[in-house]
A = this chain, B = another copy of it.
Amino acid sequence: MNGQTPVQVEDGELALLTDLYQLTMLQAYWKEEMHERATFSLYFRKLPPTRRFMLACGQQHAAALASRVRFSAYSLKQLSETGRFDEAFLHWLAGFRFSGDIWALPEGTPVFQNEPFLEVDAPIAEAQLLESLIMNLVQLETVLASKAVRIVMAARGRPVVDFGLRRMHGVDAAVRGVRAYRTAGLAGTSNVLGGLRHGLPLSGTMAHSYVLAHDDERDSFRSFARHYPGTTLLVDTHDTLEGVRKIIELMEEEPGLGISAIRLDSGDLGILAHRARALLDEAGLDTIGIIASSGLDEHQIEALIADDTPIDAFGVGTQMGVSADAPVIDLSYKLVEYAGIPRVKHSTGKINLPGRKQLFRRRDADGTYLGDIIARREESIDGAVPLLVPLVCEGRVDQEHMAGAERARERVAQALTQLPADLRRLDPGETDYPVELSPALQRLQSELSLAPLKRKRPRER
C-alpha cells in the first residue's frame, strides 16, 4: 500500500486510464504529423448466447468523462519516467482536450449485433486515446443493465431489489452498477452510496448476524420490529417455518408490531414460500408479504412465478452483480474513417462496416420493432427513425441529449412493450430480428472489399 486513496481516480489521472499502446501510437501520430479527423465505431459482433438483446448503457458516463480527460503534471511526470516519450510530445499532451463529437444511442436502447452504438469523430489522437476508457465504461453498464432487465422481466411486475454490492467487481462497478440497475427498472438497492448517488431507493432488511447476536431469535424479531415499524424480518437463521411461527406468536402478543414482510434466504424457496404463506394466512396475517433471496437468477424467478409461488418481491445479488452467465461482451472500437476516407480491417472474414454511420429502427403502428437498418451517417430512410444522437459536440457535452437515468429507465420500460415477443424470451436461442445494411452502406462496403485501400508506394521510399 502506498498511502494513495485506492478507490480514487483524480480527473488528472483519467488520461492514464488507457492502454500503453494508445500513448505510443499517439506519439507516433504526433511524430508523423497525423492530425486528421478519424471516426471510431463501437459495436459488438454477436450477442452472448444467453442474451436476445443488449441494453446500450454507459454512453453518458463515457461522454462526460471523455470531455474531462486531461493529463495532470504528475501524470506527465510519471509518463516521462517510463523513458518511452519525448519531452516535446509530453508537452503537447499537457494541452490535450477532447475537441471532437460523440454520437451514441440514447441510454436504455435495445441494441443488436454489428450495430454502431457509439461513434467518436475527432482528431485521431483524441479518439484513439479514449478507446480503453470508453470501452470499459460502456461495457460495465451495458452488461449489468442487460442482465438486470432480464430479471425485471422474469419478476413480472414484482419489485426486484439489488443486493449485489458484496459480489460486484470492485467499488466502481458496485456504485455505478446501481445506475445501470435504475435504467433496467429495479425497484431499489441495498447499496447505500450507489443508491444515494444514482437516485435508486435504498432498501434493506436484517442479516443472520443480528439474530445470532441475540440469545433468542424471537427477542431479536421483537426488538427489530419495535425499532423499525413496517420492517422485514429474516426468518431462516435456524429453521424457516419455526421462524414464521415465532412471528405469528409475536403478532398475537403485540398486534401493533408493524411487520410488513418476511424474508426467505435459503432452502427450497418454492416449498417454503407456500408453507410460510399458508401459516401466515391461517393466522390472519395476509398483509405480511414474502421476500425471497438466495442466489436467484431470471430462470429461477421465472420458474417460481410459473409455479404460482407466493413471493411478493425478490432480492438479487450474486448472479446479477457480475452478470454471471455473460460477464463480458466482445465490444470492438474500430477505426472506420481517417482523413475523410472510409477504412476497414479485412483479414478475418468478420463483418466490419466502414465510415461514419447511423442506425435506423423500423416500427409498426403500435411501436413494435420490425427491424433495424445500419446506414451511412448522412442517410435518411423512409419510415425509420434515426437513433444515434450527438452526446458531445466539439468537446462540449450536449445537455439536451444527456437526459439522465430517469429518462433511460422510461425508455427501457417502453422498449419492453415494443420488443417482439421472441426477443423477450429468457431462454437461450437465436432470434431472427432483422439487422440489415442500407444499400449505400453495402455499396461502400463492397467497394472497399473489392479494392482495399492500398496505394502502393515505391519501395525506396
Contact = CB atoms under 8 A, between A and B. Distances in A.
Interface of A: 1-2, 4-11, 13-14, 16-25, 27-29, 31-32, 34, 38, 40, 60-61, 64-65, 78-79, 82, 84, 124, 128, 131-132, 135-137, 139-140, 143, 163, 165-177, 190-193, 195-197, 202-210, 212-213, 215-219, 223-224, 227-228, 236-240, 249, 253, 266-267, 295, 318, 321-324, 327-328, 330-331, 333-335, 338, 343-348, 397, 402, 404, 452-457, 459, 461
Given A19-B192, A20-B204, A345-B212, A4 B197 contact: yes
Nearest to A215: B455
Interface-central residue, A202, A267, A456, by most chain B CB under 10 Å: A202
Contact of A170 (B20, B173, B219): B173
Copies of this protein in the assembly total 2
Contacts of A397: 1
B348 A6 contact: no
A260 B344 CA distance: 27
B213 A338 contact: yes
Contact of A338 (B4, B32, B212, B402): B212
Given A140-B169, A170-B176, A173-B170, A24 B215 contact: no
Contact of A335 (B16, B208, B321, B331): B208
Nearest to A166: B135
B170 A140 contact: yes
Given A166-B139, A172-B172, A209-B334, A455 B19 contact: no
10 contacts: A5-B9, A8-B10, A18-B192, A19-B192, A25-B210, A29-B210, A135-B167, A137-B170, A168-B169, A267-B348
Given A170-B169, A267-B348, A335 B212 contact: yes
B334 A324 contact: no
Contacts of A196: 16, 78
B192 A165 contact: no
Nearest to A249: B459
A166 B169 CA distance: 14
A20 B202 contact: yes
A347 B238 contact: yes
A357 to B, nearest CB: 16
A124 B335 CA distance: 55
A13 B14 CA distance: 20
A231 to B, nearest CB: 8
Contact of A347 (B78, B79, B191, B240): B240
Contact of A38 (B18, B40, B202, B213): B213
Given A6-B65, A136-B171, A218-B457, 7 more contacts: A5-B11, A16-B196, A19-B165, A32-B223, A136-B174, A239-B347, A324-B327
Contact of A6 (B176, B203, B327): B176
A31 B227 contact: yes
B459 A190 contact: no
A140 B7 CA distance: 13
Q: Which 10 A-B pairs have the closest CB atoms?
A: A20-B204, A170-B172, A21-B204, A169-B169, A209-B335, A135-B166, A172-B172, A170-B173, A16-B193, A19-B190
Given A20-B190, A213-B338, A136 B224 contact: no
A136 B213 contact: no
A127 B167 CA distance: 18
A20 B456 CA distance: 65
Contact of A216 (B38, B135, B173, B456): B456
A16 B227 contact: no
